[in-house]
Structures are given as C-alpha cells and as structure tokens.
Structure 1
C-alpha cells in the first residue's frame, strides 16, 4: 500500500487502489464497502472497498478476515498482507478523506453532513470499480444511517446489481470484513506517519485513540491549541470537542452579522459608515469636514436635493 500520493499533500483527499485482477473483469464479482475513523476528532476517515469473484467467496473466507475492530493492529497488518498476496483474485480501493476535507465540507455555507459525505464516497468507490471493468453482481455495505433507505438509494444508483445494506455488515460478510481491514490499516498507517504542515517542532505522538472522550486525546488537543490560529490540519475542527475548546481557550473573534447593515455595524463599533458621507444631512451636520482636492479642483459640490 503506497500512501505517497496522500502524504505528498495530506490537506486534500486521495484515492488509492490495487491492481484489478484479470479474473474480476471476466467473472461475476461481489464487493464490500466499509470505513475506518468515522468518530475520531483526529486524523482522516478512510473508506475502503474490496472485491473478488463470487466463485472465490469461500477462498476469501478461508483467509480468516474479520471485523477490523475486533483485531489487533498486528493481526490487521497480517490479514492485509494475506489479501495483498491474493491479488490474483482480490482487489481493493481506498478513499482517504483528510480531516481538512471533512471539516470544510461540514462547515460550508450549504451544509454537507458526514452521512452525505460517507454515502457519496462509497458511491464513488463503487463507480470506480465499475469504471475499472469489475463485473459487479453483488454489493454488501455496512450501513450509514437507516439501512433500508441507504439500500434503496444504492439500488437506484446501480440498477441490475444486488445490493445488501446491513448494520454490522463487517461481521456478517467476509468481503466487507476485508474492506474494513484495508480501510483500518490505511488509517493506522496515515495517523502514525502524519506529517504536520505546521511548524510545531517535535510533536507529541501520544494522542491516544483520537476519539473525543479519550483523556489523552483531550490533553493533546489542549496542548496544541494555538489561541489565534486554532488547530493543525490533523484535527477535525468541525467536531464539537474541538469547537468547545476553541470557544473557551482561544482568542475571541467578532464577526459582523452578514444581515446587519453598514450603519448599524459602524455605530456599534463607534465608527462612521461610508454611506454616511453620501447622505443628505452629511453636508449640513458636518461643516468642519474638509472637501478633498479632487472635488475642489473640478469645482464639484455635493447636492442635498435633486
């Protein structure tokens, strides 16, 4: 798994994939979808797909793949190695969603929540497999949101393919377990080797699990909170944990209400609005104001009445 394309710029998202096995272009295939890192406040979320011919389902099961959350890091690495060695009939693809992408998506003016982002990423990976020539006949997905609605959405998007969406699909279907392992291994490697674009000196890598309720994660967030610039891009600043710490520990920034007109904003800040210089009462109320040379040279005068 070459993470170089993502590590070159970890502020944006990136898609990685294995070679497409020739057999997957000629035989009916099944495909599993799962993610890793949905909940943490630190690091990326990684979506993964894994696919193989329907005729090879038992061989995939014999690799002893399981839900990645039930495995140790060493076990996941070993299983990923087994999947990689089965490249004659197993393929995979990943979409690494950077923390920056997640946060800016969720906080943009037109709201784009994590469920919508997850659905679109999964659909994009399935479409990538189809575009690569994989002969998909079955899709198995670990649900995000209501399973029935998600299943209907995918069935409409990919007609002619049997779609199954279930909670805990990563423990029910080996092909989803394999996708889960690919995604989790990629996230673990990215987090462990994260290159900070910000000049933070020697960064303390003991940030715990990355989940908001982890004391080590909270301590790390406090340690690396800049009162003016906030957090490095390793942090999902759209998470409520990060926002609460910013509100309580960072410098307060006042943003003028977009709907507040210039006159009110200027009065509140004890300043004059530019519009006040063009009002009918400006000339009569401020006789001491000097007229700019630009106007006097051209013998231009303001008019109170038209």
Structure 2
C-alpha cells in the first residue's frame, strides 16, 4: 500500500483512495466501515471504507475476507492485494488520523472526544463515496459507542441509506471485514515506516504493541520523553498513559496567575517558574552557568530578550 501522501507530512490527517469502479456508479452498492488503531498510545488511527455492488456480494465473499484481528500480518497483506486486484467491482477509501490530530482535537479548549472524532471520520468517508458517484444503498458499520444511537445518527445524516450498526460487524459482514483489512494494513504500514521529524538520532523501533499496558511501550515512552516538551509526534499526548508519565517524570511548571505570583509559588516549592525561562538572559541557566538552548528554540531560531 502506497502511503506517500501521508508520509510527506505525518503530522496532519490524510485521505487515501482507490479508483472508483464504473459499476459502482451505475448499480446499488453496499459499503462497510471499520477502524484500526483506536486503543494504542502510539501511531495514527485509520478509518476505512470498502464498497461494492449489492449484486456482487457473493464475489466479495470469494475473496475470503475476514475480521483483520483474526489474521496474521501476511494474511492481511495477501487479502488486501486480493481486494486491490478486484478493482473492477471493489473500491476503498481511508482516513488516516495522525497522532497529532488526535491529541490536539482531544486537548483543545472545546472538548472533542475520540468517539466524536471517529463518527466524523466515518461520516466524511460515506460522504466522499456519495460525492464520488457511488450509488450507495446499504451501509454496515462496526459500532463506536452505543449501537442504537450511532445507527440513528447515521440514518438522520444519510436518510436515503439503509444503515446497520452492529458490535463486531467486521466478523458479521464481509464488506466490513474488507474495510477492516484496508484500515489495518494502512496503519501497519504507517507505523512501520514512521518518519520522525524530531532530531532523535537512530530511533529504537522496539516499542512493542503500542498499547498503554505494554511494558515495552511504556519503556519506549520513558526513553524518548523530554522533561519539558514531552514526546515525538508519534505519541498521542492526550492518552492518560502519556499524561501520567509527564506528570510524574516531567519538569514541574508553575504559571503566574491572579491568585499567587508564580515566582513565589515556584520558590516555595524549590522549583523554577516558566517565567524565569522567559526572563533569563540568553545562554544562561537560573544559576548563571552557560546553557545550551533546547532544540525547540534553536530550530526556530528563537532568542531571549532582556527587555521589550
């Protein structure tokens, strides 16, 4: 799978699509939706759709698609190739949500939780298929949140479609199985081929499964944690695992506010306030010694000012 467009800038989300088969523009079609990478603290989450004519459902079954979680990586790759080879009647599209997109969405002032982000990704992909001329009739979705509410939401958004939302839809409906394979293969490729924009040297790629409970993943997070700036953009900052490690291992920061002077609060805690970094003469530490600026400042060619 070619992820070239995403690899150009993996800090933002990206949509990848196959060609739209001509038959999908002239016959009633079914469409399946599934995701990959919802739980990990590392890497993107990928939403996928797959669609084909209702009259060709049996041919889709002949491709031997199955729930991607029950397959080995090699089996998924082979089945994705089968889906790609069936381009005369099967099409697909993917929305790759970068870790940066997930984190900034969930941490913004107006809360935008993962379920809402997932729903919007799915809705966007269905709308893409319709805008591309696919004659959709049936939509099958693996649920995110309560199935009945999600089904009602999609039915109201797309009143002309027959929407079915079910738990474990990827094991019930072949068209959802096909979507799960496309999404999982894309995520696997994105994680394996991740290009770190940060200057980390030769990165240790033995980060385990990427799930918060994996000891290897936790060890990797600690290894590449900066006490002030946190983690590379490969990490979802909004996950509690990442936030808890920053709270326990990161540098304590005190901000000036209306209740108490930040410098005094920091001094009482025997710590340094953020303002002291702003007011400090260029090239010195709080103790007056020579100091090498963090790459955040040097990469942006930022220098401290003694006065405004």
TM-score, L = length of structure 2:
0.84
Rg (Cα) greater in structure = 1
Aligned counterparts, 1:10-21, within 5 A: 10-21=10-21
Match of 2:249 in 1: 249
Aligned counterparts, 1:3-82, within 5 A: 3-82=3-82
Structure 1 regions of 5+ residues with no counterpart?
271-306
Give the 3-state SS of the residue equivalent to 1:252 in structure 2. Answer: coil
Sort the Cα spacing of 1:83 and 1:213 in 2 relative to 1 into closer, same or farther, 3 A: same
Sort the Cα spacing of 1:256 and 1:113 in 2 relative to 1 into closer, same or farther, 3 A: farther
Aligned counterparts, 1:65-104, within 5 A: 65-104=65-104
Structure 2 regions of 5+ residues with no counterpart?
267-308
Match of 1:284 in 2: none
Q: What is the CA–CA distance in structure 2 between the aligned matches of 1:108 and 1:6, rounded to whole Å?
A: 23
Match of 1:298 in 2: none
Give the 3-state SS of the residue equivalent to 2:180 in structure 1. Answer: helix
Match of 1:153 in 2: 153
TM-score, L = length of structure 1:
0.85
The count of aligned residue pairs is 267
The alignment status of 1:233 with 2:233, answered yes or no, reads yes
Q: What is the CA–CA distance in structure 2 between the aligned matches of 1:255 and 1:171, rounded to whole Å?
A: 51
Q: What is the CA–CA distance in structure 2 between the aligned matches of 1:32 and 1:269, rounded to whole Å?
A: 55
Sort the Cα spacing of 1:227 and 1:266 in 2 relative to 1 into closer, same or farther, 3 A: closer
The alignment status of 1:212 with 2:202, answered yes or no, reads no
- 4+ residue stretches of structure 1 with deviation over 4 A? 266-270
Q: What is the CA–CA distance in structure 2 between the aligned matches of 1:120 and 1:227, rounded to whole Å?
A: 34
Report how far residue 229 of structure 1 moved: 1.5
Q: Do the aligned partners of 2:12 and 2:101 also contact (CA within 8 Å) in 1?
A: yes
Q: Do the aligned partners of 2:36 and 2:187 also contact (CA within 8 Å) in 1?
A: yes
Give the 3-state SS of the residue equivalent to 2:52 in structure 1. Answer: strand
Aligned counterparts, 1:224-303, within 5 A: 224-257=224-257, 260=258, 264-265=260-261, 268=264
CA offset digits 1:160-193 (Å, max 9, x no partner): 1100000000000000000000000000000000
Give the 3-state SS of the residue equivalent to 1:201 in structure 2. Answer: coil
Q: What is the CA–CA distance in structure 2 between the aligned matches of 1:207 and 1:23, rounded to whole Å?
A: 43
CA offset digits 1:86-137 (Å, max 9, x no partner): 0000000000000000000000000000000000000000000000000000
Report how far residue 269 of structure 1 moved: 5.8
Q: Do the aligned partners of 2:46 and 2:186 also contact (CA within 8 Å) in 1?
A: yes
